[in-house]
Structure 1
Amino acid sequence: MDTKSASTGKLTAHIGLGQGVALYVSATLGAGVLVLPGQIASSAGPASLLSWVVACAIGAMLALLFVSLARRLPGAGGIATYVGQAYGATAGGLAGWMYFSAGAIGQIVVPLTGGYYVAEAFSLSSGWAYLTAAGILAVAVGANLVGARVSTGAQLGLALTVALALLATIIVAIPRMDSDRLSPFAPHGLPPIGSGVIVLFFAFAGWEAVAHLVGEFRRPNRDVPRAVGITIVIVTVLYLGIAAAVVLTGTYGSPETDHVAIGLLLEQAFGGNAALAAAVIAVVISLGTTNAFIAGVSRLGYSLGKEGWLPQSAAHVSSTSVPVGGVLAVALVAFVGLGLAWLCSWGTEALVVVPSTLVVFVYLAAAIAGIKLLKGKGRVAAIVSVVLIAVVVPSSMSNVIIPLIVIGVALTMRLVLRRVSRSVNGRTGASVAQQAHG
């Protein structure tokens, strides 16, 4: 260890090319890949493959954009800071609120994906999927509250496990792939293709989360572009391969099938025991993704609480430097949402629309900020990102009420918190004045 760096409180440059690729892969290949291939295929038919191609292209541009923004503003607080730096504190606060909402609500979807696979493996009713999801969420929340973190080695192991599991699924599905299943190609017309791209933003939410690590690469100028480039290739191949496997084997068409499409592909190849293995992998992926996103989103909640966009309780930090307030804020949203989902029988196909739509608008705001803040290749990536996202945004206009509601709630809370603060400060000032005169 570099003791000088440790003693001065600076982060050491310790990430090499291999570790950088693994960190990017583990951040990007999340639980969404377990349910989204079947869900998008059911919506758009074989044309869903176009949704994946467009989403992967946008994901590649976003990867380059966020790396450029992180290098332009090292140590910054993510999207909220980028937007705030470009267009002011209010715009940054609203972007932060939308990203916080997307991250918190997303922690309903992620554990539920693991729950589906467990229920399928043991032939349990759908209620057990929600109960399993609650257990996964509780473990992740508990781990964050006590300050537990997945070690670097575990992160690398998770990335390798996920990548190999997806690759194995693609390989074993090849003998059953049939190009005849590409016809009719777009049975539901063109609109579901754009809608599918919007939903797939949920699968590409990891690029921003890991961009802040660029300052910890040993050779950032050489290794960061290489790590991003290699990860783009890996993620694109695996995502498109899984999407093709689901479509060309016809493993989609109903919520029950869509929820566990990868497990069914493995089960068809290896028999019933594969369902249990798929369930274990799904739980591991869901738990790892939930743990990582609670850790990240809770820190955004802390920042929003500190800046007056959330109650001050959200900014509470324990003596062991755990953002307890932020963790509990995320947990409250996730557990309440999971309970409502169970009561209303909402599946991931309905729930994922909310965080996906919010992420689309937040990433669009970040890309627009990038045009103002960046130069050279970074600005080109920002411009291309804006153009690509703008092409699919019309597909989300039916859900534009979602970010509008979040913005309305954010502004209302901001106003209420300011009035409460003034009232408290006024009473405190009056009390001090009375004591002075007394």
Structure 2
Amino acid sequence: MTRLSVSQGAALSTGAVLGTGLIALPALAAAAAGPAALVAWLALILLSAPLAWTFAALGARFPDGGGVATYAGRAFGPRVAAAVGWCFYFAVPLGTPVATGFTGGYAAAVAGGGRTTELVTFLLVTAVAFAMNWFGLRVSGRVQLVLTGVLTALLVVAVLAALPHVDPGNLTPFAPHGWAGIGAATALLVWAFAGWEALSSLSHEYRNPRRDVPRATLIAVALVGVLYLAVAGVSVLVLGPALAESRAPLADLLAVGLGGPARQITAVIAIVLTLGAVNAYYAGVSRLGAALARDGALPSRVFGGRRRSLAFIFLASVGCALLPIGLHTSTLLVTGCFTLVYVIGTASALRLLPRGWPKLIAGTAFVAVLGLLWLNGWPSLLSLGFAAGALAYQALQQRRQRGQALVEQVRVDRSEADDQAVDVRTV
């Protein structure tokens, strides 16, 4: 049986969280808050520690492919578990075109082709992630380890190359849009830190979940925090006001430090980032879908088993890529779903984790994600639609089960009546 090592788990976690946040979000955050966007970056980095630890603690104590849905079921019952599972599971196909959309813009800038190049990039990334996960975590985990190593090296090069061009004057004016701008930047940057919950679905794949899950998560938190803050900080200090107007901030940063080949290098970074994120999410949610089907929260004919669940996610991702929804809107919709999952997940931790500092850390994470849900605004309502779908499906299943039980009871009653009639005639 395939088992994840600490290094592979840390690589999957890093790939899931690091994801596509560095491709476009530094510019979007700077446009919302100016240099004060660094406050939002720092706040979310600090939030990652208790949030990641909370999910790691749950995964270590309750290793299961259902991840957050399993914890919600233990804490609040099967209906909440199904609602959380649906919210996360069906948000991933909607989020996959968003992630690859960031990358497609970089690829199109290098190769040309506009929308066609973006769609080809989407199909390439999702098909490779699908293939890696189809053949199991032994392939997926090892490839992810390589991808994360390459990605880390490229980002370090980008930061070091740009350091000689740092200008502290670019920090003024520091907060041109005030606290409201920092709040808006924080809501956008939630996308960059989504991912800690995805890997909880892989907790049962570790060799020793109680020991290895916290270790892998600790490594990932440290690596993600350092890389995010370094790239975001250098981007603000080097690019200055131009950062807010950039459509390819990482490419601009590399162009300052390296010159000529910056666009090509950045396209490679973008593809590696996105492939790492999609690969990690496909690994986690394929098992989540199978677990939901196992527990009766999804139809087993479609979602039963890891590969059926994976196939659905891939096909649904292709379908969502063809929807006429803007990239910005899709980002907020997906972020709202993930934030609600965090709220339910951390609330579950408050009921499941032991008293003392574990519950204190979970409580800190719970309060923080409630604030993020408020900052996200109306796009969070999409998660209610997924939750309603889960409840409706469960109600339908219960009605079918009652109907089948009634039919079976009528059959038994008729059989008993026929047996009594035979006995009377015999007498």
Instruction: Give the TM interval when normalised to the shorter protein.
Output: 0.7 to 0.9
Of 5, 15, 25, 1:15 maps to 5
In the alignment, the residues of structure 2 paired with residue 246 and residue 61 of structure 1 have an alpha-carbon distance, to the nearest angstrom, of: 27
Provide the secondary structure at the position in 2 that maps to 1:124: coil
Shift of 1:149: 5.7
Structure 1, 162-171 or 138-147: larger mean CA deviation? 138-147
Give 1:353's aligned residue. Answer: 332
Shift of the 426–233 alpha-carbon distance from structure 1 to 2, 3 Å rule, reads: same
Contact 1:97 1:410 in 2 (8 A): yes
How many percent identity over aligned positions? Answer: 31
Give 1:370's aligned residue. Answer: 349
Shift of 1:434: 10
Tell me which amino acid in the other structure corresponds to 1:337: C
Tell me which amino acid in the other structure corresponds to 1:71: A
In the alignment, the residues of structure 2 paired with residue 378 and residue 352 of structure 1 have an alpha-carbon distance, to the nearest angstrom, of: 32
In the alignment, the residues of structure 1 paired with residue 234 and residue 213 of structure 2 have an alpha-carbon distance, to the nearest angstrom, of: 31
Of 291, 298, 317, 1:310 maps to 298
Shift of 1:278: 1.8
Q: Is 1:333 paired with 2:316? A: yes
Of 252, 256, 261, 1:273 maps to 261
Contact 1:65 1:382 in 2 (8 A): yes
Shift of 1:430: 8.7
Shift of 1:108: 1.6
Shift of 1:422: 5.9
Provide the secondary structure at the position in 2 that maps to 1:207: coil
Give 2:83's aligned residue. Answer: 94
Output one character per residue of 1:87-136: Cα deviation in whole Å (capped at 9) or x when no partner: 11111111111111222222122222221221111243244223321332
Give 2:424's aligned residue. Answer: none
Contact 2:333 2:380 in 1 (8 A): no
Structure 1, 193-202 or 350-359: larger mean CA deviation? 193-202
Provide the secondary structure at the position in 2 that maps to 1:252: helix
Shift of 1:174: 1.8
Give 1:37's aligned residue. Answer: 26
In the alignment, the residues of structure 2 paired with residue 192 and residue 101 of structure 1 have an alpha-carbon distance, to the nearest angstrom, of: 30
In the alignment, the residues of structure 2 paired with residue 126 and residue 74 of structure 1 have an alpha-carbon distance, to the nearest angstrom, of: 42
Shift of the 216–143 alpha-carbon distance from structure 1 to 2, 3 Å rule, reads: closer
Tell me which amino acid in the other structure corresponds to 2:367: V
Shift of 1:383: 0.9
Shift of 1:403: 2.0
In the alignment, the residues of structure 2 paired with residue 389 and residue 380 of structure 1 have an alpha-carbon distance, to the nearest angstrom, of: 14
Aligned pairs for 1:145-184 (under 5 A) are: 145=134, 150-184=139-173
Tell me which amino acid in the other structure corresponds to 2:39: L
Shift of 1:79: 0.5
Shift of the 391–180 alpha-carbon distance from structure 1 to 2, 3 Å rule, reads: same
Give 2:394's aligned residue. Answer: 414
Alignment: residue pair count? 413
Normalised TM-score (structure 1): 0.83
Shift of 1:425: 7.7
Contact 1:50 1:193 in 2 (8 A): yes
**Structure 1 stretches of 5 or more lacking a match?**
1-5
Aligned pairs for 1:279-318 (under 5 A) are: 279-317=267-305
Aligned pairs for 1:388-427 (under 5 A) are: 388-419=368-399
Tell me which amino acid in the other structure corresponds to 1:253: A
Of 86, 107, 127, 1:118 maps to 107
> What is the RMSD computed on CA atoms of the aligned residues?
3.2
Output one character per residue of 1:169-199: Cα deviation in whole Å (capped at 9) or x when no partner: 2222222332222223233332342233333
**Structure 2 stretches of 5 or more lacking a match?**
419-427
Shift of the 380–284 alpha-carbon distance from structure 1 to 2, 3 Å rule, reads: same
Q: Is 1:253 paired with 2:244? A: yes
Q: Is 1:237 paired with 2:255? A: no
Shift of the 421–44 alpha-carbon distance from structure 1 to 2, 3 Å rule, reads: farther
In the alignment, the residues of structure 1 paired with residue 384 and residue 216 of structure 2 have an alpha-carbon distance, to the nearest angstrom, of: 36
Shift of the 214–49 alpha-carbon distance from structure 1 to 2, 3 Å rule, reads: farther
In the alignment, the residues of structure 2 paired with residue 316 and residue 78 of structure 1 have an alpha-carbon distance, to the nearest angstrom, of: 16
Provide the secondary structure at the position in 1 that maps to 2:256: helix
In the alignment, the residues of structure 2 paired with residue 275 and residue 435 of structure 1 have an alpha-carbon distance, to the nearest angstrom, of: 77
Tell me which amino acid in the other structure corresponds to 1:394: W
Shift of the 301–219 alpha-carbon distance from structure 1 to 2, 3 Å rule, reads: closer
Normalised TM-score (structure 2): 0.85
In the alignment, the residues of structure 2 paired with residue 311 and residue 22 of structure 1 have an alpha-carbon distance, to the nearest angstrom, of: 32
